[in-house]
Structure 1
Amino acid sequence: MSATVLPGYGSFLEELKAKIKSAQIKAALTVNAQMLTLYWDLGKAIVEKSTQAGWGNAVVEQLSKDFTQDFPTLKGFSRTNLYAMRSWYLFYGEQDPIVPQLVGQIPWGHNRLIIDKIKDRTEALFYVQQTIQNGWSRDVLAHQIQTKLFARQGKAISNFTQTLSKPQSDLATQTLKDPYIFDFLSLTDEAHEQELEKALVSHITKFLLELGAGFAFVGQQYHVEVDGDDYYIDLLFYHIKLHCYVDIELKIGEFKPEYAGKLNFYLSALDSQVKSMEDKPSIGMILCRSNQKKVTAEYALRDMNKPIGIAEYRFTEALPENIRTELPTIEALEEELKKLKQDGRA
């Protein structure tokens, strides 16, 4: 039997499907919020009985048995999960009434991961808020915790407070990190800028994740022409929340003051030739392999009239010296392989 063709049915169907998906998402969020409210109340009750009534851990063990027997089809009442509920409540406590509402907006697995990995309450709430804002999966959340996003967020040197009006300057400051972690690249410290640029573009999804929410890739070696001369911006992005273009210039060595002057020129070209009336002023970022001379960077930006930030990037964390000295050298590995071949074992 052939499907009935009705004028405009396709768009009508898509509209209804969108409503159904939206309702499903809202229902899932409602269920999650109700479950976490229950977990919070259970954690609170367990803490109170463990201390006030002097029941200790016995209350968790008994509750696990009784819940399993009385609610055999419901999951989540194992002794491990009940202990997690208690730890969750103890970690945040009742110091701020907004906390249960805040942590109730992310899945239970995310909450458990945060309290397992983070010891500081302020840092934990940072990751809760970031998860809510960015819709992180548990794997992405784990990666952000592992790379210490809390310690890196908003730490780049910039002149945003002098060149941007509020709240644009505050948002731009929080958008930058220092350092950026490019642990998804297999480059050495000797890599050229072109190699780094090409590698980042080939891993654009992971690069965008490290840059943070809001970045949209525009182009590599983006061309601008000034007075008949050709210039090429390393990486050009548009930031949806900041409503502006972002020029990222990559440097393989340490920061030099002349980098800021050249980027200032690029931003002027972008604002004159690319930026629309609705866009905010373009922002520049200089990513260097090293930026140890902080005072030099601050002096370089002090009198610049364009918003520029400076930060480091790292490929992977360096191995401790005591571990590196115990690792075999390439020559030793080659010699061992040669012996194995001679013995007929390779």
Structure 2
Amino acid sequence: MKKSVATIRDVATAAGVSTATVSKFVNGTQRFSPAVEARLTSVIEQLGYRSNPMAQSMITGRTKAIGLSVLDITNPHFTSVVKGANRVAQAHGYTVLLVDTEETQERERQLLEALSRRVDGMIVYSRTPEEELGWLLALDRPAVYFGRPERLALPAVASDDQLGAFMVTRHLLTQGHKRVAYLSFAPSRRDRERMAGVREALAALGLELTVFEADAPSADGGERLSSAIMLGRQPPDALVCYNDLTALGFLKGAQELGFNVPDDISVAGFDNIQYGSFATPGLTSVDLHSERMGAAAMQKLLASIEGQEVEPLTVIDAQLVLRGSTTTRA
């Protein structure tokens, strides 16, 4: 005969307390004397009692779930963000529910509104312009935003994209490069910060920036532009790419056209994804510490859920990682 599952009433009877006491103890909403808590812990273990998550959420108003939206889960940068966020969530007894908006702004609102009904709070990457994100605030859920919000009254976590872009461009200039170009992805707000950093470094030497625009922040997007960049009348001698994926795609395309990286052109990206170190040559990149970003966002959100005050903006430092895709010019 199948063994019956222990109920909250069974625990209360065996421990000699009320069902309300068991509920408060299991859900962590009230502390009791050490003797009572020890007795409850022992009985729960002996009976193998497991609380019903749905019943628990009805009592506490908490789902113990966090929503996390990313723009493209196939991009290793976002995979690392999820890993960092999930590690912190698990340590605090939360489950992460993931939504991949697939770089599609039109799907974003529908997916996040549905997600908000199942979670205690959300961490959000978004391509939607800030002035159109009023609906996000109306969801009435604690939320943390990735990026530097100019209008949204939300706590945020951001990387120092402009400084990172300045660092990598300044490095290229010290290597003797004169014709530095930037491979852009305009729909991204972070793209503007990165382009500003490149311009700032070039302006210090009175140099102009040439910009090429990718149609997708992917390896395919970078590869599609390789011929336009390398076969133009005055190709650059260095290229800073919006991210590592576009840089790796460009690197592949340039090599297939017969060009040598870095002898003909130095190439650098952003995010320091793991695949960059396995490319030939290895890809120079600005490490924005994606995993740390995810962890910091989750810590900030959990604090908000508990009603604690949090800093409006947490900025994660950038770090330049040098590999073989950049070299000194004679």
TM-score bracket for the superposition, by shorter chain length: under 0.3
Structure 1 or 2: more helix by fraction: 1
TM-score normalised per structure 1: 0.25
Q: Which has the larger radius of gyration?
A: 1
Q: Which has the higher contact order (CA 8 A, sep 6+)?
A: 2
